[in-house]
């Protein structure tokens, strides 16, 4: 009987701690942020209600982990103080409106989704539930920037007391979490006001912070002594040079372990870390761009060509000229400059491109300057594997 399964125990002791769902039990790199969060919640341990607070920072900076951690500490402390506390942790990822989020919150509590009912009715239903729960309620809205500018929910909640939707003896506090640094600035004044002075910024981790995060994680995940110190440093360094994301650093390390295992090596070395970086980056670029339209791909090819010639940041006009050449080469129809700019913006949202807006010299007016946000080599690689772009990237070399 062949053995269809692998024995992973030569490398991994407990790989579940490398998985996305794992919540760390300590976050020493975020002591300051945790203190700020604790201070905001503290009134709820006495005679008041916790303050609303807003967590902001790029993806992979420990916002979700910190919120989960502080919430569980807060629950423990509230129980000791005989405070009636209910915490609700809700991820808004993939939801595009306040209405949808409220429907989901109602479903979470009742098992039934009120989707389709009038907005007012759904909100009233939600407030009934809140009043039924009673006491102190902390509602975490993670990735709340997913719902875009539609801040009805935050607006409603900030006024719910004034409008008598929520009983006087019930306290609802919001912990909002956003990956988008501009999210709060674009909300209505009343909502902004409720988070005033209560913003906790999660700045990007540097290489040494990422290294300590990885060292702690590696000690739990891998068999003792299997991972080279220098491989950990490499993974941390790669992530620091990119977005400073702990998620990314952990992904590199996990993949490095996987590669060592596949190769039958009994140590995780620099060589594995290097291969892991290329593989993880390729996978993430792939995920971002594989489902895009032909025009997105063509705009990206144009930018890649300029980038490889050292001609970026490039104005939209310049990207457009190259885009037209690409279209001619592939004998496809081209679209207008404005629409190509829209496609480039779409790619920016996915983290594939980035732009700055500058006032361009004598002409005046605000101009976009584009560059590639992903690794050039890995992006060329991915684009090369897309059939319908066959051959066109030959122009790059
Ligand atoms: N200071 C830290 N210590 C340990 N693990 C961390 C730390 N910061 C982030 N992580 C881990 O990195 C990954 C991304 O963190 P997460 O909280 O999901 O980031 P965000 O919500 O800011 O995108 C998670 O696996 C998390 O456990
Ligand atoms: Mg998060």
Tell me how far apart the alpha carbons of residues 53 and 295 are, in angstroms, rounded to a whole number: 41
Domains, the chain, with CATH or none: 18-201 (3.40.50.300), 205-288 (1.10.8.60), 290-396 (1.10.10.10)
Q: What is the pLDDT of residue 29?
A: 98
Closest ligand 1 atom to residue 209 Cα is 1
Q: Tell me, in angstroms, the distance from the centre of ligand 2 to residue 181's CA.
A: 13
Q: What is the mean pLDDT of residues 335-359?
A: 92
Q: Tell me, in angstroms, the distance from the centre of ligand 1 to residue 30's CA.
A: 10
Closest ligand 1 atom to residue 246 Cα is 12
Q: What is the mean pLDDT of residues 367-376?
A: 92
Q: What is the pLDDT of residue 253?
A: 98
- State which residues have CB under 5 angstroms from ligand 2, the bound ion: 64
Q: Which residues, in sequence order, are bridge partners of residue 357? A: 368
Q: Tell me, in angstroms, the distance from the centre of ligand 2 to residue 364's CA.
A: 40
Tell me how far apart the alpha carbons of residues 53 and 56 are, in angstroms, rounded to a whole number: 10
Q: What is the pLDDT of residue 396?
A: 56
Ligand with minimal distance to 91 CA: 2
Q: Closest residue (by CA) to atom 7 of ligand 1?
A: 62
Q: Which of 30-39, 110-119, 253-262, 356-365 has the lowest mean pLDDT?
A: 356-365
Residue 241: pLDDT band by 50, 70, 90 thresholds? very high
Ligand with minimal distance to 246 CA: 1
pLDDT tens track for 67-93: 999 999 999 999 999 999 999 999 999
Query: Is the CB of 180 inside a 6 Å radius of any atom of ligand 1?
Result: no
Tally helices (H) and strands (E) across the chain: 14, 8
Query: Is the CB of 63 inside a 6 Å radius of any atom of ligand 1?
Result: yes
* Residue 380 · residue 308 · CB < 8 Å: yes
Ligand with minimal distance to 25 CA: 1
Tell me how far apart the alpha carbons of residues 175 and 185 are, in angstroms, rounded to a whole number: 16
Q: Closest residue (by CA) to atom 9 of ligand 1?
A: 62
pLDDT tens track for 137-173: 999 999 999 888 888 888 888 888 788 889 888 989 9
* Residue 244 · residue 205 · CB < 8 Å: yes
Tell me how far apart the alpha carbons of residues 91 and 68 are, in angstroms, rounded to a whole number: 12
Query: Is the CB of 59 inside a 6 Å radius of any atom of ligand 1?
Result: yes
Instruction: Indicate if the pLDDT at residue 232 is higher than 80.
Output: yes
Tell me how far apart the alpha carbons of residues 71 and 65 are, in angstroms, rounded to a whole number: 10
Beta 366-372 vs 314-315: how paired, if at all? antiparallel
DSSP string, 255-317: HHHHHHHHTT-SSB-HHHHHHHHHHHHHHHHHHHHTT--HHHHHHHHHHHHHHHTT--SEEHH
């Amino acid at each position: 009987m062949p053995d269809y399964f692998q024995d992973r125990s030569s490398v991994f002791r407990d790989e579940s701690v490398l998985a996305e769902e794992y919540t760390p039990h300590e976050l020493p790199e975020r002591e300051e942020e945790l203190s700020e969060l604790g201070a905001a919640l503290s009134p709820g341990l006495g005679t008041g209600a916790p303050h609303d607070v807003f967590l902001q920072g790029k993806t992979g900076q420990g916002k979700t982990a910190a919120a989960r951690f502080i919430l569980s500490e807060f629950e423990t402390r509230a129980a000791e103080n005989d405070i009636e506390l209910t915490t609700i942790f809700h991820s808004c990822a993939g939801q595009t409106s306040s209405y949808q989020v409220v429907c989901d919150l109602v479903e979470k509590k009742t098992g039934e989704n009120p989707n389709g009912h009038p907005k007012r009715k759904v909100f009233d239903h939600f407030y009934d539930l809140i009043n039924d729960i009673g006491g102190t309620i902390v509602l975490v809205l993670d990735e709340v920037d997913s719902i875009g500018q539609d801040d009805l929910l935050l607006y409603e909640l900030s006024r719910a007391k004034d409008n008598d939707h929520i009983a006087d003896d019930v306290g609802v506090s919001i912990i909002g979490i956003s990956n988008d640094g501009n999210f709060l600035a674009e909300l209505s004044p009343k909502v902004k006001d409720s988070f005033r002075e209560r913003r906790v910024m999660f700045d990007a981790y540097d290489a040494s912070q990422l290294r300590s995060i990885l060292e702690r994680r590696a000690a739990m995940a891998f068999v003792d002594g299997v991972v080279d110190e220098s491989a950990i440093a490499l993974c941390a360094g790669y992530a620091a040079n990119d977005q400073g994301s702990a998620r990314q650093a952990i992904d590199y390390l996990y993949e490095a372990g996987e590669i060592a295992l596949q190769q039958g090596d009994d140590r995780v070395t620099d060589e594995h870390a290097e291969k892991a970086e290329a593989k993880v980056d390729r996978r993430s670029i792939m995920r971002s761009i594989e489902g895009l339209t032909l025009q997105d791909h063509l705009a990206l090819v144009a930018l890649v060509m300029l980038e490889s010639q050292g001609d970026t940041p490039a104005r939209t006009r310049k990207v457009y000229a190259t885009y037209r050449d690409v279209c001619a080469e592939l004998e496809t129809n081209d679209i207008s400059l404005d629409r190509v700019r829209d496609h480039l913006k779409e790619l920016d949202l996915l983290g594939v491109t980035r732009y700055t807006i500058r006032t361009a010299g004598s002409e005046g007016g605000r101009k976009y300057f584009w560059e590639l946000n992903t690794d050039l080599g890995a992006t060329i690689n991915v684009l090369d594997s897309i059939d319908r772009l066959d051959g066109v990237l030959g122009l790059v070399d």
